[in-house]
Structure formats: C-alpha cells, structure tokens
Amino acid sequence: MVLPSGLLTGIKDPVALKSIAVTLSIKDFVAGVSATLNYENEEKVPLEAFFVFPMDEDSAVYSFEALVDGKKIVAELQDKYQAHLKFEEDLSGGFQTYLLEEDKCSKDVFRCNVGNLQPGSKVALTLKYVQELPLEDDGALCYVLPAVLNPRYRLSDQSVESCLDLKTPIVPLEDLPYTLSMVATISSQLGIRTIQCNCPLSSIDYIGENKTSAQVTLAEGHKFDRDVELLIFYRNVHSPSVAVEMGMPERESDTLMGAPSAMVSFYPEIPEVETSTKCGEFVFLMDRSESMKSPMSSQNRSQLRIDAAKETLILLLKSLPLGCYFNIYGFGSTHEAFFPKSVKYTQESMEKAVEKVKLMLADLGGTEILTPLRKVFRKTPIPGHPLQVFVFTDGEVAETFNVIKEVKFHSKRHRCFSFGIGEGASTSLIKNLARVSGGTAEFITGNDRMQSKALRSLRRSLQCVVENISLSWDLPPGLFVHMLSPEQTVVFRGQRIITYSLLTGQIPQDETTGEVCLKYTIHGKSFEEKVTFSLQPKPDDNLTIHRLAAKSMIQARDFGYRETTLIYKRDVLDISLESGIMSSFTTFVSINKELNEPIHGPLFHRDIPRPILFSSFSMRPRSYPNGLPRAGTPGAQPPRSAGTGYCALTAHMPDGAPQQPRYPQATKCVIHTDTRPELPNILKLCAYEQGSVEHTVAQLIFLQNADGSWDMNEDLAEVLGTSLKDVKAAHPTEVLEPSAWATVLAVIWLHANGKELKDEWELLERKAVVWLHNNAVRDFTKFMHTANKLLKTSVSSSIFTFKG
C-alpha cells in the first residue's frame, strides 16, 4: 500500500509528516489494510501538504478519514471533477480540507492533500483498503507494502497535470524525519506453516495449537530502500473454496452492495502435458532506459538490471523451440529492433541475436514503449505462429493507460507476459498488460532472479491451451447467480482462479448447501472440479468480498481518467459511487466546517526533499548549490532510487501574488558510469563471481546450440571442470557422435550441479534430451558410468527419459 517518500522542507525546516503506521489483517487470501499518516504543523503559518505514495494496482480503497486534534471527520467519495471544485472553494473559504485521489496518469499512485493545516495542529489521516493476495508458484501467499515510488516518464505533449510531476529535492535515507511501523495479523483455518519477510521483524507470534493465526511486527528503523514483502505459507493452500458474504441490510436485496456476494476460489489441477509444438512468434521488448543501469537490489554486489536483462535474453533465446520465429526490441526514448521483422529460429539467427544482446547498453534515455508496441502489432501475422509478447521494464513508462489500451485492442491475436524489474515498478502497468491480454505478470525485486521468472513465463507460453473454461452452479430453486467478474478465458498450470458473483432471490433459512463446478478441456479431454459450500451468508463489517467484486468490475472498465470511453466512464462512476471503491473518476474529500479561519495572503509553494536510495555505485562527493544536487544532474541520484515518494508544502505568505504549484517536465537522475564494454564471451556478460554455480550455468547455457546440442570443444570441457583431452579419452566412440557425447555430459552436469537453478535451464535441457532422441541415442545406461566417473557425479540415466 502506502509508503513513504520524502517530506522535508530544506535542511532545518520542520516537516509536517511525522510517522506512518500500518495495520494489516490477512484472512485466508484477502488482506485488509489500515494506514495512518500522522501530521503536525510546528510552524507559525498554516500549511497545505501534499504526500504522494505508491499503492498496488489491485488495492480497493474504500475509506478515508481525518482525526483533527481528537475529532474524527469521515470523507465522502465524490465525482472527481465536482470534488475538486468544492475542495478549492472550501479551501479558499478558510475551511480545513482533505483530499485523497488516484493520479490521472497512473492508477497505482495516490495523492493525499491536507489543506489549511493550522499552526500547532495535529492531524491523523487514515485510509483503508482491501486486496486479493496473489499466490506464488511455491504456494506462498504474497503481500507487498510498496515503499518505493520511481518517477514515471511523461511525453512532452501531455497536458494532464500529474502528481508525479512534483519535483522535489532529495536527501539521504538516514535523514528522513518520519518513520514507518507495521503490525500484521494473519488468520486462516488452513493452518499457517511458516511466515517469511524480506525486512527485519521484531517478532513472530503463532497462536493456537494448529497455528491458525499469527502476529508479526516490523522491526523499528525500516529504511525506505525496498518494498516490505510478507510471504505466508498455509498448509492446504490449494483447496478450492467458496465464501458467501452478507450484503448491506439498508440496500435493496438485488443491488451490488445489498445482495449476498460470493467469492469462488479454484486451484485447477491441470495435468502437465509435454507439448511438441514448434510454432509461435516470440517478441521480447527490453527496457534500455537509463535506470536499467541500477542494481537489482540494494544489497552489495547486486547484479545490475541491464546485466540481468542480457543474461535473461540469452537464456530465453537458448530455450526457444526450433521452428518458431522471434525478434528483440530495446526501447527507451527511441527503440531499436534486432531484425526488421521476426526471423525463423535457427543456429545462425540465434548466434546473431546473442551477439547483439552482448552489446546492449542502458543508453536509450526515457521509457516510451507505445511506439515499438504498435510496430510489433502492425507487422503482418505469421500464419500458424501465434504472437507472444514479453515486456521487461522497471515500470517508469510514459502513457501507461494508452499502452494498456493498445495491448487490449490487439488481445485477440496475442498474449503479453509482463515483468516489473526492481523496486517501484508500476503495478498498474505490469498487471494490466497481462490482465487484458491473457498473459501473466511477474515482479522481480530483492533477491529474485529475472532469469527464473522469465523462464516460468516462457514455459507458460508453451503450455497446451486450456479451452472451454466455464463455471456452473447447482443452487436451490428460486436462487440465482449473477456473475460480476469478467469471463475467464485463460488458465495456466499452477494458477489460481478467483471469481465474484451476486446471489439473488430467496436465500434458504436453514443450513443449505450449493455446488460450483469448474470445467475445462485440454487436447479435447474434459476435466472438472467441484466444491460444495454453505449458502448462509456471513456478516463482515468491511464488506470485503463486495468491495473486491466491485474492484474487479472497475478494473475491467477503467482505463484512466482521459482514456476511458464515455460509456465505460458512466459505468465506472456508478459502480465506484455505489460501492465506495475509489476509481479514476472519483475522489475522497472531507471538509472540517468547524474550522473557518480566513486565509490572508496567497499560497506560497515550497519544494520538499524526498529520500535518495544510495546504490552500490561508488560516488565521489561533489559540490552542489544550496548543498543539494539539482534534479537531472548526473550523479544527483543513483538510478534505482529515483525516489520513494514526494511531498510538497505550501505556506500562507502575507506578501505577493500566489505562486502556482509547479508541474515541470519530470526528469530522471542517473549516474553515467558505464562505457561500451568489450564482451567477447559470456565471462564478461556475467556479473557473478567466477566459479559460482550461477556463473558456470550461465557459461554452459551460452555454449548450447539452437537445436539443443553442445559441441565438444575446449570451452565446454573447461565449464565441466575437466580437459578436452580427458573428455575425448572417455568418449564412447562406438556409441556416440562427439556432439552427442558433449550433450550427454552437459545435461548430466546440470542435474548434478545446477539443481537450485533448474527453473532456468529446464526448457533448454528438454531441448537437449529431445535432440539426443532425435539423433537415435538410446540405452543411456551403457555410458552413464563413464560419464559419471569423468564428471565425478552420480546421476541416474532416468534424466534422459523422453516425455514427448
């Protein structure tokens, strides 16, 4: 949800924001969050404070209230246009005003505006939201509290004012005067197996014999250098479930908020079917903006984003199936394509692409992806080869809504798999690219490896198509289902399906059950899964299921303040106002009518610094005017920090005309430290320590041919930890050709030494096994002893089983 970033008024000026307190309640698969921003005006003049913070795209904000010197004022959700008119009118009239709204250019950025904060006054602003939590491949339920907000590029011809344009000075993290605290309560009848966090916790307390609940507390002193990520592992996370929630008694029984609402959760046991398809057009769009020079994480010796991107692209290239088509685009302020159009995947085209990857730099300026995307979509489709687009970006993209609209418009002929790189990537962009096209979204932060997440998506793109997905209900007579969620058209193996519905008609008074059945087909074979549930709705003061249902309806229609069509705009506005869930067209506003202090003099805008996240780059101290670097000055800010939030204050000054808030063109500060490297081989491409497993696996992958085989040569022998002489001496020439022997050794080495990275090499290893079988290599038991002895391993011949 919310998280800080910058609220300082120069070197010695007091700061209005004092602390941020987050209370998190996780029940099963849903999080309820309450975040309080505590302000105090220690100056002698009234202030107007702006605080801009990130929030996950899937958050359903339903409450905003202010506690002013002990008095609670609850905000109303209103039409955004009308709310702004009233806000300005009441502010100029001397009333104390509060505003909470989505940014007009990005749905995962919010601005909180505290108007007319009186001298000595204390204000606590609390916003509440609910969020459906994603399930990771390893079964972990993941909650992320965003702590980093990077600047988002805006094109020069955009006229809409965005809170992302607020330009503020920057300060080191250790000088931030406000703090963050978080207490989380987790409860589920599924049983909690374990809880993990990427930030220090002061305690984890489990409650109950079966550990059905727990409480965790974030340790004091959190640095705003990373998102706070909680991973919760339940004991039976894959069990299907249906929860029915009671509606609001005062509403009509057949309305969105008055009727009972059902949340259906399935985790389909889709069988693993080895696909033999060789078709597909794979287009990779890689961010080459300046910020890609920054590290993947704040840890020492962390791999640079651009280096991880290069290694990932090579891994993807090696893992593609023979016979497909591919192309690679690098984008920034401009874009570059490897080939004029997608080319057939062969040894020659793969080698050309790898050489181009090795020369890639993060040198294309800003982040404008719309133009290259349009070029991809306007290319003539290749018959029999469905388009699969992979987008890698740190999320600082211009025209977020237009990019999403473009992808949705072409969703009938492609799927988009999106990747947010590093802290602060736009959840609005990354999640919606996948959502509107039937792909998947991944976020790569902290110690995550881009390579493994990219290969997971590539595996999904190669999966057999799951067709004819449908939900059917078996309910008592007189009870009906009205589906609220968009139709489910895509399901991947290992994914969870969640849908929302309204139950209308007569709910039975006695304990009655209903049944939901999920059906789908793969390769013409039908599958179905059923779950039985109680029809008695349970009360929930937060109306969690109703609000999540409304959020899913809004997401399907809301494409931004400017970009949404008039028909959808009316729908979004109606759903938002009825449910109380914020949208692009609504704003929370509250007015303290009891405070009626006339404003004397104009508002004077004063910039407030935001924190800088120092990276592992070595920086030589420089002298800057006023002690702080200017935005846009090389060296002013390490690339990954581009900020964790913004805040501005305006004070009532007795002299002069009002100084209007400035909305300058946003710039991104970078350190220009890299020069074009000479990369004759993978050794200089890899950022890992020589001799590490990651380094050796990367070298081995680099040496693989497009058809899945390896050549017997000195480079391969060195990677395998032996000599070419010994490899040749052990070669069973009467059974295997040299390349087959080399391929057998490479596959054995991967299984023996690279188990932890199996997600990354599994596809190319399958390619190697298929190549061996296609070249009439059989009875692997005959030479396994020799191979194991040479490599000092003990691997079974079962690894060469052909699953085709």
Q: How confident is the model at residue 338 (pLDDT cuts 50, 70, 90)?
A: very high
Of the given ranges (100-104, 517-521, 610-614), which has the lowest mean pLDDT? 610-614
Q: How confident is the model at residue 176 (pLDDT cuts 50, 70, 90)?
A: low
What does the block give as tokens for 339? 């080939």
Would you state the pLDDT for residue 517? 94
CA distance 19 to 668: 27
Residue 753 phi, psi dihedral angles, 5° rounding:
-120, -15
SS3 501: strand
CA distance 582 to 129: 10
Mean pLDDT of 527-556: 93
Q: How confident is the model at residue 474 (pLDDT cuts 50, 70, 90)?
A: very high
| DSSP-derived secondary structure for 411-466 | TTSEEEEEEEESTT--HHHHHHHHHTTT--EEEE-TT--HHHHHHHHHHHHTSPPE
Would you state the pLDDT for residue 531? 94
Q: How confident is the model at residue 464 (pLDDT cuts 50, 70, 90)?
A: confident
Cβ–Cβ under 8 Å, residues 111 and 163: yes
Q: How confident is the model at residue 620 (pLDDT cuts 50, 70, 90)?
A: very low
What does the block give as tokens for 222? 């959190």
Cβ–Cβ under 8 Å, residues 215 and 202: no
Is the per-residue pLDDT at 207 higher than 50? yes
419-441 pLDDT, tens digit per residue, is 998 877 888 899 999 988 889 99
pTM: 0.76
Would you state the pLDDT for residue 303? 80
13-50 pLDDT, tens digit per residue, is 445 678 889 999 999 889 999 989 888 888 787 777 76
Q: How confident is the model at residue 472 (pLDDT cuts 50, 70, 90)?
A: very high
CA distance 606 to 659: 9
Would you state the pLDDT for residue 175? 65
CA distance 269 to 267: 6
Of the given ranges (339-348, 485-494, 498-507, 728-737), which has the lowest mean pLDDT? 485-494
What is the distance of C-alpha 563 from the center of its chain? 22
Would you state the pLDDT for residue 394? 84
The CA dihedral of 128, 129, 135, 140, to the nearest 10 degrees, is: 0
Range from 105-109, 179-183, 487-491 that averages highest in pLDDT: 179-183
Of the given ranges (44-48, 483-487, 497-501), which has the lowest mean pLDDT? 44-48
Other CB atoms within 10 A of residue 755 CB: 9
Is the per-residue pLDDT at 107 higher than 60? yes
Cβ–Cβ under 8 Å, residues 537 and 507: yes
Q: How confident is the model at residue 330 (pLDDT cuts 50, 70, 90)?
A: very high
Q: How confident is the model at residue 301 (pLDDT cuts 50, 70, 90)?
A: low
343-388 pLDDT, tens digit per residue, is 999 999 999 999 999 999 999 988 889 999 999 999 999 988 989 9
Range from 351-360, 398-407, 428-437, 769-778 that averages highest in pLDDT: 351-360
Mean pLDDT of 636-652: 31
Q: What percent of the chain has pLDDT over 90?
A: 39
Mean pLDDT of 173-194: 83
CA distance 214 to 194: 10
Q: What percent of the chain has pLDDT over 70?
A: 78
Cβ–Cβ under 8 Å, residues 150 and 291: yes
Give 63's strand partners: 128
Q: How confident is the model at residue 313 (pLDDT cuts 50, 70, 90)?
A: very high
Is the per-residue pLDDT at 278 higher than 60? yes
Would you state the pLDDT for residue 347? 95
Catalogue the E-assigned strands of 510-628. Answer: 513-522, 525-534, 586-592, 603-607, 610-612
Would you state the pLDDT for residue 154? 41
Mean pLDDT of 248-261: 93
Adjacency order of strands within the sheet including 140-145: 140-145, 228-234, 192-197
Residue 195 phi, psi dihedral angles, 5° rounding:
-130, 135
Q: How far is CA 281 from CA 141, 451, 609, in A?
A: 33, 20, 46
Is the per-residue pLDDT at 705 higher than 60? yes
48-69 pLDDT, tens digit per residue, is 776 677 788 889 999 988 888 7
677-689 pLDDT, tens digit per residue, is 333 333 334 445 6
The CA dihedral of 231, 234, 235, 240, to the nearest 10 degrees, is: -130
Is the per-residue pLDDT at 200 higher than 50? yes
| Residue predicted with more confidence, 347 or 400 | 347
Mean pLDDT of 652-668: 32
Q: Say which residues have a Cβ less than 8 Å from residue 462's Cβ, sequence separation at least 6.
A: 275, 277, 280, 321, 763
Is the per-residue pLDDT at 413 higher than 80? yes
Would you state the pLDDT for residue 8? 28
Mean pLDDT value across the chain: 79
SS3 490: coil
587-600 pLDDT, tens digit per residue, is 988 866 555 444 33
Cβ–Cβ under 8 Å, residues 525 and 465: no
Is the per-residue pLDDT at 170 higher than 90? no
Mean pLDDT of 326-334: 94
Taking the CA of residue 646 as centre, how many other CA atoms within 13 Å lie in the half-sphere pointing to its CB?
24
Mean pLDDT of 189-211: 87
Would you state the pLDDT for residue 221? 79
What does the block give as tokens for 369? 């992806």
What does the block give as tokens for 434? 């996948």
Of the given ranges (419-423, 471-475, 747-751), which has the lowest mean pLDDT? 419-423
What is the distance of C-alpha 342 from the center of its chain? 28
| Residue predicted with more confidence, 604 or 804 | 804
What does the block give as tokens for 804? 């085709």
Would you state the pLDDT for residue 156? 39
Other CB atoms within 10 A of residue 795 CB: 18
| Residue predicted with more confidence, 149 or 221 | 221
